[in-house]
Amino acid sequence: MEQFLVIVERIVIFSVLVSALYALVALGFTMIFGVGRVLNLAHGALLMVGAYTAWFAQRLGLELYLAAGLAVVVCALLAVALYQGLIRHVQHSVIITLIATLACALLLEEIVKIFFTTTPQILQPFISGSVIFHQTTIISNRILAFGASWAAILLFWIFVHRTRWGKVILATAQDQEGAALVGINVRHVYTVTWALSGALAGLAGVFFASWVNLSPFMWRDPLIISFAIVVVGGLGSLKGSIVAAYLIGFLEVFMTYSPSIRFCADFRCFEFLGPSWVGVPSLMMLVLILFLKPSGLFGRAHG
């Protein structure tokens, strides 16, 4: 019984920690769709660029805090360049936009391969060590990632709901044509939105790298996570993204600690449940939500 309680404790603690990071990962993705109705498949690649920027800056001798700030700036500028140079010319077509953003993600992957090879790298943590809560050992840097993720989410909420620019963004998200009629420069709003999304992606990339090793392929999981969270929570819904992040985070951590069932037949063995099935529940939830409520838990139907 005691061992069972320890496992439950770890599931709860690690779910709370990783889900905050997942919410931060998905925040920029949600923002881009909510304002511009664009599914940015390059979002995960921006996280990768942020992680590699911080790592490279750290290798050049910068403190990690300065390296993280540089990653945020680089990703914000890259996102703006992506929008101004490509997306604004094709965003009238959903299919072309999807292809264009995916192509950009693959291009960034190839560029990282050329300059940094495919050898996994490790980003040094902001803080070292660990703390023990009851019977669970928690890496200190992951607690910092949790706090930073929630701080970024709360600051973003304050910006959107309490500042003039935030209200302009909300007005554009609700009715683009109406916003243009009252004098709002919609293209400028889109540019600011992409810059904020890129900055959030850069920050998320730095902290995501504290959970995984850096590699040119590390952008794929954040993209899948973002897509699943945004669809489950509701396209364009900040509240939905946070709720979905915690649902998906809990399912993944639960699966990590669940016992696997091994089945062997004809000299082949298969495992059901357990750590090897970590990514399956979130995808199953995504399919279920698309079938039962395509607009997501808190989203609006889009025509």
Signed CA dihedral, 186, 191, 196, 198: sign only: positive
Amino acid at 79: A
The fraction of the chain above a pLDDT of 90, given in percent, is 40
pLDDT of residue 23: 92
Q: Band the pLDDT of 155: cuts 50, 70, 90.
A: very high
Q: What is the predicted pLDDT for the residue at 125?
A: 86
Judge whether residue 280 has pLDDT over 90: no
- What is the model's pLDDT at position 56? 94
Which of 40-44, 141-145, 202-206, 287-291 is predicted least confidently? Answer: 287-291
Find the mean pLDDT for residues 160-170: 87
pLDDT at 231: 86
Express each pLDDT in 193-212 by its tens digit.
999 999 999 999 998 887 78
112-150 pLDDT per residue, tens:
999 999 999 988 888 888 888 878 888 898 899 999 999
CA distance 185 to 204: 29
Mean pLDDT score, 173-189: 83
- Distance separating alpha carbons of residues 228 and 287, to the nearest angstrom: 9
pLDDT given at position 108 = 95
Q: What percent of the chain has pLDDT over 70?
A: 94
Give the model confidence (pLDDT) of 65-101 as tens digits: 999 999 999 999 999 999 999 999 998 888 999 999 9
269 burial via Cβ count (<10 Å: 0-12, 13-18, 19+): exposed
Q: What is the pTM of this model?
A: 0.89
Mean pLDDT of the chain: 87
Per-residue pLDDT at 77: 97
Cβ neighbours, 10 Å, residue 155:
10
What pLDDT does 110 receive? 95
Residue 171, Cβ neighbours under 10 Å: how many? 16
Q: Would you place residue 190 in the very low, low, confident or very high pLDDT band (cuts 50, 70, 90)?
A: very high
Helix (H) / strand (E) element for 161: namely helix 140-162
> Does pLDDT of 302 surpass 60?
no
- Over residues 232-243, mean pLDDT: 84
Are the C-beta atoms of residues 53 and 71 closer than 8 Å to each other?
Answer: yes
- pLDDT of 303 > 50? The answer is no
Q: Inform me whether the pLDDT recorded for 160 exceeds 90.
A: no
Give dist(CA 271, CA 278) in Å, integer. 12
